[in-house]
Structure 1
Amino acid sequence: MVRTLAAMTVLALASVLPTAAQDLPSWNDGAAKKSIVDFVTAVTTQGGSDFVEPADRIAVFDNDGTLWSEQPMYVQLAFVLDRVKALAPEHPEWKDTEPFKSVLAGDMKGVAAAGMKGLVEIVAATHSGMTSDEFSRIATDWIASAKHPTTGKPYTSMIYQPMRELVSYLKDNGFKVFIVSGGGIEFMRPWTERVYSIPAENVVGSSIKTKYEMRDGKPAVVRLPEIDFIDDEAGKPVGIAKFIGKRPIAAFGNSDGDFQMLEWTTAGDGRRFGLIVHHDDGEREVAYDRDSHFGKLAKGLDEGPKRGWTIVSMKNDWKQVFPE
């Protein structure tokens, strides 16, 4: 009888606890995977001291370098380069104005040095004057055909399989998952649901100002050549508070641009989780951190372990990097 009760207990627990072996197959067993499973188990076990109601299970993910490749440049940067060149004849001042000067000169180091702020400025200048619907069509068409400059694969196949599994694992355990990225919100929204199973309304990003007007007798939202919001560094907690309305209990990033998001998330009450993807695999991806123009990671490496954040070694913690 005792053995029967014990067996029934094991079966009951197996039916409610997260099934990490099944849901995280691309993760090697180790401290990183264990920290994820322990956290999810703690906040989803009803009656436990760390239990969190589903409505408050908010998880936020950076995009570039966290969910997909950001080397040798941000994907959205590749998207706007052709637009700068096409529009340059109408803007002779760009020859002497950064970051446009570097774009036209083919100086990618100069473009990278402008950072996310520079990228948003380029987007504002080259994608204003059109409606939001027109821009969405442009982004959709581009992402459907654009190829990674090194691998020749579609950018949408350069996503990280372990992180896609992690997104699904969290959703299966009652989490609401959001992207909180420095990239343009209207650039990401047309394809995030198809690629990550994260719907457009769960995407927070940088934006330019818009206005409502009538065009050809039809109402439209028109994009203006002015920066509205930069969702990077200290802007990420602001964006979360403004657009999501709740402090997350879990945050995932890969660079110092995500530091404040992880800091704010893990400073809240109750059980919290922060994770940084460290790009240390030069064979299967690209090894970079402190000296990289894209996805620089220095403060996070130094401070993350002290704050209890999980540092994921892409080389050691992931069985595979990209989908097969």
Structure 2
Amino acid sequence: MSRTRHADTTLFSLLAAFILTIAGVLPVFAQEPLASWNDTAAKNRIMSFVKATVTEGGDGYVAPDDRIAVFDNDGTLWSEQPYYIQLGFALDRVKTLAPQHPEWKTKEPFKSVLDGDLKGIAKGGELGLVELVMATHAGMATDQFNKIVTDWFATAKHPKTGKLYTDMTFLPMRELLDYLRSNGFTTYIVSGGGVEFMRPVTEKLYGIPPQQVVGSTISTEYAIVGDVPVLKRLPKIDFVDDGAGKPAGINKFIGRKPIFVAGNSDGDYEMMRWTTAAKGPGFAMIVHHTDADREYAYDRQSPFGKLDKALDEAERRNWLVVDMKADWKTVFRSAP
């Protein structure tokens, strides 16, 4: 080949590569993994574990089909203070439905909701919260509930920051989800929250499609309404995906034991124990809320997201405790 022809060929190749890059066909340089994490031991432990799982021939190698990662949602992927986001939805629904229920003006826990009395709501305990959920989440078709949730998320704002709830997701955790998926992991949400409350938004917020969301459910039944088949939501708890329910839910709905689990409270304790007790690689991490300035600082005494037993046992069980204040450069997608 002549020198002129070789130069022409080289020039053509460079030009073609440039055009393809502009067109988005060739990959561009990837952003630094976990860019919103400080360069601390926490970040290094996560990356070391992931590197070991993808290194063929190494002791920590895990085949792609078995690279299952599960994440709690409330307090792990998005903020859960001053109360669970789903509770915020239920409170708004009570106010919307109140004109149809004059008895709520004197009946607890609805009276406390209408009076804006959070302490009064808390006094009702778990049974009071269940009653709120049943009154505000049932009695309609699943498609109707999906639309109500979607519309609510479009405008509902956090009481402290004034940001949309959908902007209250943790950027470092979203980066972690992306990082795991780029290394062959399949990511799931396993949360105590209502599955049909989360599913309308999880794909947009986290890249996790509805079929990869495991959560608490209320009973549904098939019915014909106006000659149209629907699934009606009944005022009856079907499955609570919290505490010991989380490993059961993973087994029932995913069918594979995870090798990576992330949570933030004692409600995730059993899920972390189950994952890290298995033979072979197993990684558990706890998001510890230590940043009162950028988010909230809470653990052992919090009525929402209580972290006590799991925190006590984390070191002994080699669970990673992520210190939000020390380990994260940024908390939310955009600074509050």
TM-score (norm 2): 0.86
Out of 280, 285, 304, the position equivalent to 2:314 is: 304
Larger radius of gyration: 2
| Paired residues, number | 305
Match of 1:3 in 2: none
Match of 1:59 in 2: 69
Match of 1:33 in 2: 43
* 1:24 aligns to 2:37 (yes or no): no
Partners of 1:116 and 1:232 within 8 A in 2: no
SS at match of 1:65: coil
CA-based RMSD of the aligned residues comes to: 2.0
Give the whole-Å Cα distance in 2 for the aligned partners of 1:297 and 1:137.
34
TM superposition shift of 1:235: 1.0
Give the whole-Å Cα distance in 2 for the aligned partners of 1:112 and 1:171.
38
Question: Residue 43 and residue 118 in structure 1: after superposition, are their counterparts in 2 closer, same or farther (change >3 A)?
Answer: farther
Unaligned runs of 5+ in 1: 1-18
Partners of 1:120 and 1:184 within 8 A in 2: no
Out of 82, 90, 93, the position equivalent to 2:101 is: 90
Match of 1:251 in 2: 261
Q: Percent of aligned positions with the same letter in both sequences?
A: 60
CA deviations 1:150-179 (Å, max 9, x no partner) are: 111111111111000000000000011000
The one-letter amino acid paired with 1:59 is A
* 1:204 aligns to 2:214 (yes or no): yes
Partners of 2:195 and 2:216 within 8 A in 1: yes
Partners of 1:115 and 1:293 within 8 A in 2: no
Question: Residue 112 and residue 203 in structure 1: after superposition, are their counterparts in 2 closer, same or farther (change >3 A)?
Answer: farther
TM superposition shift of 1:86: 3.8
TM superposition shift of 1:214: 0.5
TM superposition shift of 1:115: 6.2
Match of 1:149 in 2: 159
Give the whole-Å Cα distance in 2 for the aligned partners of 1:118 and 1:34.
43
TM superposition shift of 1:247: 1.0
Partners of 1:113 and 1:293 within 8 A in 2: no
Partners of 1:70 and 1:295 within 8 A in 2: yes
SS at match of 1:27: coil
Match of 1:46 in 2: 56
The one-letter amino acid paired with 1:214 is I
Match of 1:77 in 2: 87
Out of 127, 134, 140, the position equivalent to 1:124 is: 134
TM superposition shift of 1:21: 7.9
The one-letter amino acid paired with 2:135 is A
SS at match of 2:48: helix
Match of 1:274 in 2: 284
Unaligned runs of 5+ in 2: 1-28
Give the whole-Å Cα distance in 2 for the aligned partners of 1:304 and 1:259.
10
Question: Residue 119 and residue 176 in structure 1: after superposition, are their counterparts in 2 closer, same or farther (change >3 A)?
Answer: farther
The one-letter amino acid paired with 1:145 is T
The one-letter amino acid paired with 1:44 is V
Give the whole-Å Cα distance in 2 for the aligned partners of 1:113 and 1:56.
43
Task: Select between 286-295 and 102-111 the one with higher mean Cα deviation.
Answer: 102-111
Partners of 1:278 and 1:311 within 8 A in 2: yes
CA deviations 1:163-218 (Å, max 9, x no partner) are: 00000000000011000111110011011000111111100111100000101001
Give the whole-Å Cα distance in 2 for the aligned partners of 1:84 and 1:292.
24
Partners of 2:104 and 2:110 within 8 A in 1: no
Match of 1:181 in 2: 191
Give the whole-Å Cα distance in 2 for the aligned partners of 1:183 and 1:191.
13
Give the whole-Å Cα distance in 1 for the aligned partners of 2:125 and 2:176.
28
TM superposition shift of 1:106: 2.6
